[in-house]
Amino acid sequence: MRTDFFVAAIDTDAGERFVLLRPNDLPSKFLFPSSIDELRKWLASSAVSQEEFVGQLGTMGLPPDEVSHQLERARSSVNPIRGEWTWERTTRVGFRNPLGQVVVRKTDDYGDRPFQRLYELQCEECHHRYRRSGFEVHATGCPRCQASR
């Protein structure tokens, strides 16, 4: 199976449509959308009918059985247009993760991974404040009171 592209099926006002995404062709807007609505609009504007999608895959040299596989793969993809998705920025001030940790502020300091800022969080239980990289906010626990549980 080729891995140089991604496929997705989306529901639009015109019915089911398909998107063929090639990493080198993606605008940075797709990788860093400002909202789920922006992502939906971009995907919908790039979507084509099943016939056009099959034609695109055929021009890439995929045999009929692989084209069928990609159609099924697209239809089973988890995507923000078909599914019940809630997209919430976990680094938004006020975001509360399932462990009761609340984002208080974004700092000017960088974390230990590329492009990661440090955020100040506060535990709702013991009110301890601490810092975590943005990618950790959604699942971090309080280092003071939850570490002993």
Over the stretch 48-61, which tens digit does the pLDDT of each residue have? 999 999 999 999 99
12-23 pLDDT per residue, tens: 888 899 988 876
Label residue 81 by pLDDT band (50, 70, 90).
very low
**Residue 34 DSSP label:** S
84-132 pLDDT per residue, tens: 333 446 788 888 888 999 999 999 998 888 778 899 999 999 999 999 9
Distance CA 102, CA 49 (A): 44
The lowest-confidence range among 34-38, 56-60, 72-76, 106-110 is 34-38
Distance CA 146, CA 2 (A): 44
